[in-house]
Amino acid sequence: MTLQTAWPWLTFAGLGLFHGLNPAMGWLFAVALGLHRHSRRAVLLALPPMAAGHALSIWLVAASVMAVGAVVNAPAIHLAAGSILMVWAGYHWLYGHRHRVRVGMTAGIGGLAVWSFLMATAHGAGLMLVPALVPLCASLPTVGRASLLVSLAAVAVHTLTMLVATGLIAVVVYEWLGLAFLRRSWINFDLLWTGALVATGLVLIITA
């Protein structure tokens, strides 16, 4: 596999790592759930439904892009997705902190999956895969089923990386660091996320 063919998959994995580092995508909630129940098992059990909800949100966006791509040319998709990301970045920066999805500490598997799905959707996580997904599917000799399989594989790579990152951070914070460290070394992930949305949107618009 050459670098040219590998870069989309590295992008999916890299975005999975980035999403996993973001506390809004799950590790902070998993740690809080574990501390509330005084159980590392609760931390670990929270991860699969979170990953499932995240994957479903990402895949729905990817499948929609592929479906539109079958009848609309790639530049139009780039412009549309880029514009949506730019608008979404502005909305997230201005109002995102006022619209947090709240799930109680007694949430079950279904509740965690729904929460994760809503969080990933609200953050525009799926659209961030578009710059790598569109050219990858466009290079296929046929569309339809092949594009669907590629989008599923992309979501799998992305979600697996996200799950590993989220799990490692959640366990380390629960076992050794505790949530008190956030008072001393909190990173403004809202700012980073907004910047990532803007950067991805610009890439899509410029490459249209």
From first to last of its 208 residues, what are the pLDDT tens digits of the chain? 666 678 899 999 999 999 999 887 888 888 888 888 888 998 999 999 999 999 999 999 888 877 766 555 667 766 777 787 788 778 767 766 555 545 555 567 787 888 888 888 877 788 888 888 877 877 776 656 777 788 889 999 999 999 999 999 999 989 888 766 665 655 565 676 677 778 877 877 887 6
How many residues does the structure list for the chain? 208
pLDDT for the residue numbered 101: 47
Q: Which CA distances in Å does 68 have to 48, 57, 143, 144, 189?
A: 30, 17, 11, 11, 31
Confidence at residue 184, expressed as pLDDT on a 0 to 100 scale: 60
Residues contacting 204, CB < 8 A, separation 6+: 78, 79, 81, 82, 85, 130, 131
Q: What is the pLDDT of residue 65?
A: 73
**What's the confidence (pLDDT) of residue 64?**
81
Give the pLDDT confidence score for residue 103 in this predicted structure: 52
* Dist CA 155 CA 127 (whole Å): 12
Task: Tell whether pTM > 0.95.
Answer: no
CA distance 173 to 20: 14
Domain boundaries, the chain: 8-75+97-186
Question: Of the candidates 187, 160, 170, which has an alpha carbon nearest to the alpha carbon of residue 30?
Answer: 170
